[in-house]
Amino acid sequence: MQPEVMEKMTRVSAVSGRTMFCLLDAPANAISVCRDATQVVVAGRNIFKIFGLEDEGFVERLNLRVGRKPSLNFSCADVMWHQMEENLLATAATNGAVVTWNLARPCRNKQEQLFTEHKRTVNKVCFHPTEVNMLLSGSQDGFMKCFDLRKKESVSTFSGQSESVRDVQFSMKDYFTFAASFENGNVQLWDIRRPDRYERMFTAHTGPVFCCDWHPEDRGWLATGGRDKMVKVWDMSTTRVKEIYCVQTIASVARVKWRPERRHHLATCSMMVDHNIYVWDVRRPFIPFATFEEHKDVTTGIVWRNQHDPYFLLSGSKDSTLYQHMFKDASRPLERANPEGLSFGLFGDLAFAAKESLMNASPSVGEVGRKTYPGGDRRHPIFFFKKQDVTEQFAQVSSALSVFESDAGTDVNMDWFIKTAQSYLLSGKPFAELCEHNAQVAKRLNRPQESTTWTMLRIMFSEPGNPSLSTNHNLNKSGNLSLVNSFSMKEMSAALNERNKENRQDNLHSLETNLNNNDENEETEGSEGQAEYLFGDAELDDDEMYSMEHDNQAAPEPLQEKPDSPHVSGSEAESLCLTPMESFSLISVSQLLFSPHLPPSFFCPIVKEMLCHYAEQGDVQMAVSVLIVLGDRIRKEIDELMQEHWYMSYIDLLQRFQLWNVSNEVIKLSTCGAIICLNQASTSLHINCSNCKRPMSNKGWICDRCHQCASVCAVCHHVVKGLFVWCQGCSHGGHLEHMMEWLKQSKHCPAGCGHLCEYT
């Protein structure tokens, strides 16, 4: 990357060094560096030490934690080294004390002054950048206090109106100004001379603002970081505070520090979960400019070693280490970022973006249906070009986007999925009919394997000798025949279709109407919420009753089957072209024929294997559909979690294709607790009374407050429970059907308001 070279050339480093670290005895809460960048102080609950920065490493210079049983005044939440007076330090203690330390004191205890004016933990102390004796503190109790170190007490107190103060910072440029950030998301600007009222206040974040930092050069730029995981840069120089940059990070922001000599760079670290230190270019808020990944627990303090040197960063952490990071050793996420992108569209389209150089290098890869949007093509609306900025140290990458559109009918096309989902019947018919229907559907969509599977299932799980579609004897016959035929794969379905066509013509018709009915039911239910159609359950019961009834008649039939069995074994050869699983099930079918009293449960292991096979192939549709149709016959065999998993994936797919009705049906028919629950989450609708606009509190249709019926139909004057349609012009309305009828005959509003309503 070029910038690196550029940085080196612009400035010869004043201090040399390398990435290094030293172990501390305890977690650090804050660090601060002295003016000449040769020493750093580390403070924490159980540590308060000064380290010298040598070329070889950190050298412990002084332990300020003295005494046998150190007092809570040593338990530091924050520390700051004075930038003018090299012997002067201040700490904020968790018990509410503000302490100053003078390293020039001859005795071991360097404590100079102790202010115990705050009632709660002090979160932050800050020396004035140019005024030697001025110290500011911000505390949990909601007060900020300004101390003159020549006096024993604070000189002024600023009240944040009982909100805890998280950070206070003197402005670098304006002598009298300081900024304070609060736990409720506000930032206030104060004039040090006027403790009665803040100059300015604005809400910067939702939730606490943990930190703020003034830009070292740009007057009026303030960076703030909050629990809402954002870093924002505010411009205060204008009359209205303006947010000029915003960086979204992945965790709450604990500290923010502008990088010296780089106008748009700042470093952040987080309070929870994320241990890295990031350096951002605020103009490129999506990828950090550089990352330091050395720490193993959260970083609690960061500071640039020298105010005029952008290459050294010091950091302290909860993992009890103190690090010096060299900028040249930082990892650059951008270099690892992948400039290539690939995405599948829902309908099989493929979009592919790659570096332009790469795309041009291999023009030979000729594809069908390729549409290219090269970098220079401005027709496409999503393209825009960022002006190259010389000061910006980001590498420019430009990519070319290609979109491959799939031809209809290729493998990626998902039409079959939608059609199958829409036409499969999962309930509402006897088991055998469901299988038969679904087999037809699969066949029509040119999916012979699925079709055969359905046929097989029908044979396996129908009562032997009762595989019929109805009580009609003719149909019974054809059912049996199809059983024989099924082993000559190719002809089977066609033949079956031929034979059944006439017999089942009306039957199919009724199926279709039934399907339509179902759809209608679904719709009304979805919108109304109150209706209680239980068509699924009710008809399932029918199914069971049906098979129960016919148990008795079943006995004699299988005898007729037996003579056919030789054919079956003979035709096995043909079926070898199928998957192993299929042929396996064929064998078991032939066994059925020899011993007709095999219980359906005999097949369960095979069917289970088959379902798993389909699911692994990515066809959860088949797995779930079979699961639902077979219902109790197979459910116990398969692991609950596995079922749940299948259901979830299938429902997810259905919803992506916006097949809401189907997905709802699947949810209703599922037997997994977790799935059924899906339908019960967020199902309530809150209604407001149309007269008085207050919420309807009781369950009836009469409003508590104005004692009138809410939502009355303008035509029949009854309460509308369900779909309510109204005119957007005059806001009168009523039952959907009533309005339709009315507006066929009349152009005027049924309420008699004279409005010419339109119904489209």
Partner 1 sequence: MNGTANICNHCRNLIREKITEKGIKMSRHISTGPSSFIPENEILGTMPLSDSTVMFLDEDFSSRMDNLTQVMGLHPHYLQAFLRCHYYLLRMDGPLPLHYRHYIAIMAAARHQCSMLVSHHVQEFEQIGVCSEWLRGLEFCPQRLRKLNEINKILAHRPWLITKQHIKALVKTGEHSWSLAELVHAVVLLTHFHALASFVFGSGVNPDPESTEVNGVTADLCPPAIPGLCTCHLTNSNQANGNSNTGSELEALMERMQRLLVEREDDDASEEEMFTRFEKEKKESLLVVSAGFAEEVVPPSPMIRFVDDPSFGYQDFARHGEDNPPTFKAQDYSWEDHGFSLVNRLYSDIGHLLDDKFRTACDLTYYNMASHEGVDTSMLRRALFNYVHCMYGIRYDDYDYGEVNQLLERSLKVYIKTVTCYPERTTRRMYESYWHQFRHSEKVHVNLLLMEARMQAELLYALRAITHYMT
CB 531 within 8 A of CB 722: yes
Distance separating alpha carbons of residues 439 and 448, to the nearest angstrom: 9
Quick one: CA torsion of 482, 487, 493, 496, rounded to 10 degrees? Answer: -20
Q: Under the criterion CB under 8 A, does residue 252 sit at the interface with partner 1?
A: yes
* From candidates 17, 30, 51, 75, binder to partner 1 by CB under 8 A: 75
Q: How far is CA 154 from the centre of its chain?
A: 49
Compare residues 74 and 258 and give the one whose CB is closer to partner 1. 74
Cβ proximity to partner 1, 226 vs 734, nearer residue? 226
Site residues for partner 1, 511-550, by CB under 8 A, read none
Q: For partner 1, which residue of 32, 91, 94, 186 counts as binding (CB under 8 A)?
A: 94
Q: Which of 576, 677, 740, 756 binds partner 1 (CB under 8 A)?
A: 677
Nearest approach, Cβ of residue 120 and partner 1 (Å)? 5
Q: Nearest to residue 587, comparing CAs of 610, 606, 600?
A: 606
Options 681, 745, 754, 760; binder of partner 1; rule CB under 8 A: 681
Whichever of 52 and 695 has its CB closer to partner 1, that residue is 695
Q: Which of 264, 275, 499, 668 binds partner 1 (CB under 8 A)?
A: 275
Write each residue from 685 to 724 as x if it is in contact with partner 1 (CB under 8 A), else as -, in one continuous string: -x-------xx-xxx-------------------------
Residue of 28, 40, 93, 620 interacting with partner 1 (CB under 8 A): 93
> Using CA atoms in the order 368, 369, 370, 371, what is the torsion angle rounded to 10 degrees?
160
CB under 8 A: which stretch of 64-72, 103-111, 261-269, 425-433 binds partner 1?
64-72
Mark 294-313 with x for binding to partner 1 (rule: CB under 8 A) and - for no binding: --xxx---------------
Q: How many residues lie near partner 1 (CB under 8 A)? A: 48
Least Å distance, CB 636 to partner 1, is: 14
Q: Which of 91, 100, 140, 466 binds partner 1 (CB under 8 A)?
A: 140
Q: Does 101 bind partner 1 (CB under 8 A)?
A: no
Residue with tokens 């008795």: 552
**Least distance to partner 1 from the beta carbon of 525, Å?**
17
Contact between 146 and 189 (Cβ < 8 Å): no
Q: What single-letter DSSP state applies at residue 293?
A: -
Position among 32, 73, 427, 440 found at the interface with partner 1 (CB under 8 A): 73
119 versus 370: smaller Cβ distance to partner 1: 119
Residue 207 interacting with partner 1 (CB under 8 A): yes
Q: Check residue 457 for interaction with partner 1 (CB under 8 A).
A: no
Stretch near partner 1 under the rule CB under 8 A, chosen from 114-122, 439-447, 541-549, 714-722:
114-122
Question: Per-residue x/- marks for partner 1, 155-194, CB under 8 A?
Answer: ----------------------------x-----------
577 near partner 1 (CB under 8 A): no
Element (H, E) at 138: strand 134-139
305 close to 322: Cβ distance less than 8 angstroms: no
- Return the residue of 96, 160, 734, 750 that touches partner 1, per CB under 8 A: 96
CB of 669 to partner 1, least distance (A): 14
Is 645 a binding residue for partner 1 by CB under 8 A? The answer is no
**For partner 1, which is the closer residue by CB, 317 or 585?**
317
Token pair recorded at residue 218: 């740009």
* Residue span binding partner 1 (CB under 8 A) among the ranges 91-99, 147-155, 476-484, 504-512: 91-99
Strand pairing class (143-148; 321-326): unpaired
What secondary structure, in 3-state letters, does 665-722 show? Answer: HHHHHCCCHHHHHHHHCCCCCCCECCCCCCECCCCCCECCCCCCECCECCCCCCECCC
Q: Nearer Cβ to partner 1, position 388 or 698? A: 698
Nearest to 630 by CA among 601, 665, 654, 655: 601
733 binds partner 1 (CB under 8 A): no
Amino acid at 693: K
Stretch binding partner 1 (CB under 8 A), from 66-74, 195-203, 469-477, 515-523: 66-74
Cβ neighbours around 533 below 10 Å, total: 14
Give 147 or 312: the residue with its C-beta nearer to partner 1.
147
CA torsion sign for 693, 694, 695, 696 is negative
- Taking the complex as a whole, how short is the minimal distance between the CB of residue 294 and partner 1, in angstroms? 14
Q: x/- binding map, residues 368-397, to partner 1, per CB under 8 A?
A: ------------------------------
Give the three-state DSSP class for 271.
Answer: coil
Min separation Cβ 415 and partner 1, Å:
32
Is the dihedral angle over the CA atoms 432, 437, 443, 445 positive or is it negative? negative
Q: Is there binding between residue 69 and partner 1 (CB under 8 A)?
A: yes
Choices 94-102, 503-511, 721-729, 735-743 (CB under 8 A): range interacting with partner 1? 94-102
**CB 280 within 8 Å of CB 265:** yes
Integer Cα distance of 171 and 169 in angstroms: 6
77 binds partner 1 (CB under 8 A): yes
Specify the residue for token string 């748009």. Answer: 264
Short-list 125, 225, 255, CA closest to 178: 125
* In the complex, minimum distance from the CB of residue 541 to partner 1, in angstroms, rounded to a whole number: 17
The distance from CA 587 to its chain's CA centroid, rounded to whole angstroms, is 48
| Single residue of 21, 85, 86, 120 touching partner 1 by CB under 8 A | 120
DSSP state of 396: P
Q: Which stretch binds partner 1 (CB under 8 A): 194-202, 392-400, 672-680, 715-723?
A: 672-680
Q: Where are the beta strands (DSSP E) in 307-369?
A: 309-317, 321-326, 341-344, 350-355
210 binds partner 1 (CB under 8 A): yes
Count of residues making up the chain: 760
Residue for token pair 């009609």: 472
Among 8, 18, 108, 119, binds partner 1 (CB under 8 A): 119
For Cα atoms 543, 549, 551, give the angle at the middle one, nearest 5 degrees.
105
CB of 320 to partner 1, least distance (A): 13
φ, ψ (nearest 5 deg) of residue 37: 60, 30
Alpha-carbon gap, residue 237 to 219, rounded angstroms: 7
Give the helix ranges, DSSP H, for 597-639. Answer: 604-617, 620-630, 632-635
The residue whose two tokens read 């929870």 is: 272
Supply the minimum distance, in Å, between the C-beta of residue 523 and partner 1: 24
* Helix and strand counts by DSSP (H, E) for the chain: 19, 34
- Residue 30 contacts partner 1 per CB under 8 A: no
684 is a contact residue toward partner 1 (CB under 8 A): yes
In the region spanning residues 211 to 230, those forming contacts with partner 1, defined by CB under 8 A, are 227
Of 426, 439, 626, the closest CA to residue 536 belongs to 426
Nearest-CA neighbor of 88 among 18, 145, 135, 153?
135
Q: What is the DSSP string of 220-257?
A: TEEEEEETTSEEEEEE-SSSS-EEEEEEE-SS-EEEEE
Applying CB under 8 A, does 636 fall inside the site for partner 1? no
Whether residue 163 contacts residue 117, with contact meaning beta carbons closer than 8 Å, is answered with: no
Region binding partner 1 by CB under 8 A among candidate stretches 238-246, 327-335, 390-398, 668-676: 668-676
Q: For binding to partner 1 (CB under 8 A), which residues are involved?
A: 45, 69-73, 75, 77, 93-96, 116, 118-121, 140, 183, 207-208, 210, 227, 251-252, 271-273, 275, 296-298, 641, 672-674, 676-677, 680-682, 684, 686, 694-695, 697-699
